[in-house]
Structure 1
């Protein structure tokens, strides 16, 4: 599986590389920093958004902004390999409010020597809906803050789909704090509890996420390189996955994000890779 992960990352690096020399010129024409941070109201600060646990919408989103995401991932578990896919749509109906709908899928393949019935069933994991409100934008210190809420209506696996349709629910309020250091260095914290309810057993499990990220944005472009630290605390157990990543501006409306996953002290998960295609139509000024 490690070779599969490596091939996955190399494939998308090669796929995106022919346009690298051109894309910097495109980025300078399309989104210079002064255009994102002009005098229009409401004021919006440019922040680097993490690629794996991404935001609901840009911090300080302006009315009419919208974005489509398609994600593909591979994950190496001890007993099986999992293949992730997601379709996501996010938009801003009013200034500084972002909304999102996401459909995440997971498909499983047994590891060599493992029985097929020993792995989970393929499934549409959930219907996810979320909102995010940017309540603070401070240009003097290049800082934005937002509150949000994500709800997962968890679905039954395909082999028992509809029986029942919804097997549980997850409630995730969160806080986002982002700061740009100078012109090119970015940091962000995305944190909050997750309350996961199982309808059949009636149990309610609680965990806590602390996701931090640090990025360097290439001058004159919106390309960046960085790292994301996804941390989770559940039942007193601490897990963390380090995710080195890069984002490339492919065309006027298309970006690609490439992420590798390196788990720390995870009992059941090993290396992973993830790719996100981001389509953002040009937002017309009012």
Structure 2
């Protein structure tokens, strides 16, 4: 009886010791992550420079430059995507370069491609460089106290004809005008929300007509403690006359090196009248400045 009591007591002490050590380790890990998060935020919001708030940037409809951008910042992006368009597969590719020539002003040049390598019928569009896209964005409100930033911007795209029409048709097919408004807020150290919205006006030269739609992109992200990685979701909504489309895009970003990030996105359309599931991969490289 006495031996059983001693064994039970010893087991209880060992269990209590294990729980205490494990709890201490978890507390130390949480403290370490909290310190890393704080340092990451402090690095971004450097008090010796002009005010800037750390925000998570969506991966599919991304920003022209960080909100509150500082002079000298720059970034390269390469994107690859695949969309099931019911009757055929559509491949997307893009190359972007963005930079900040002065504080709070971002500029971007993008070359977006759409490719149809497995085209089998006459209804499949022709592969093409969609156009030359030029964009600018200015952060007019940055509050570290409120952890909030606001910006206005403008995107202009010169539309191009498909590759198989080069030399047989006009090279430029139209213009797309897209003024935008962005507001973002960070809640604590790890939760991020962002709204990106504006009209998209397409002017087609051949028909001499315009078509207007409205984009409303709302975003929610959670930054993984102790890392630059995040998980999140985009709600990409498009409103036209008597029509509403929304694609839900779960996503994650992973840092593979100090200045190299990989973003993975899945697209789930609410209505499948035009397309089914899609996927998108974004490589992000930020040179030191």
TM-score by length of 1: 0.86
Shift of 1:222: 1.3
Residues in 2 aligned to 1:206 and 1:161: alpha-carbon distance in whole angstroms:
27
Query: Structure 1 residue aligned with 2:159, among 154, 165, 174?
Result: 154
Residues in 1 aligned to 2:108 and 2:87: alpha-carbon distance in whole angstroms:
33
User: How many corresponding residue pairs?
Assistant: 256
The alignment yields a C-alpha RMSD, in angstroms, of: 1.9
Shift of 1:246: 0.3
Shift of 1:176: 0.3
Residues in 2 aligned to 1:281 and 1:221: alpha-carbon distance in whole angstroms:
19
Q: Does 1:243 align with 2:246?
A: no
Give every structure 1 segment of 4 or more consecutive aligned residues whose post-TM-superposition deviation is greater than 4 Å: none
Q: Does 1:84 align with 2:92?
A: yes
8 Å Cα contact 2:52-2:143 kept in structure 1: no
Q: Deviations over 1:202-260 (max 9, x none)?
A: 10100000001000001122110000000000122000000000000110111000000
Shift of 1:42: 1.2
Q: 1:231 — aligned with what? A: 237
8 Å Cα contact 1:110-1:119 kept in structure 2: no
SS in 2 for 1:140: coil
Residues in 2 aligned to 1:198 and 1:183: alpha-carbon distance in whole angstroms:
45
SS in 2 for 1:118: coil
8 Å Cα contact 2:182-2:197 kept in structure 1: yes
Q: Does 1:124 align with 2:129?
A: yes
TM-score by length of 2: 0.85
Shift of 1:110: 4.9
Q: Deviations over 1:171-222 (max 9, x none)?
A: 0000000000111000000000011000011101000000010000011221
> Is 159-168 or 148-157 further displaced after alignment?
159-168
Query: Structure 1 residue aligned with 2:139, among 125, 134, 143?
Result: 134
SS in 2 for 1:174: strand
8 Å Cα contact 1:110-1:116 kept in structure 2: no
8 Å Cα contact 1:80-1:109 kept in structure 2: no
Q: Deviations over 1:1-46 (max 9, x none)?
A: xxxxxxxxxxxxxxxxxxxxxxx99xx59x7221111212311100
Residues in 2 aligned to 1:41 and 1:147: alpha-carbon distance in whole angstroms:
22
Unaligned runs of 5+ in 1: 1-23
Q: 1:262 — aligned with what? A: 268
Unaligned runs of 5+ in 2: 1-31
Q: 1:48 — aligned with what? A: 56
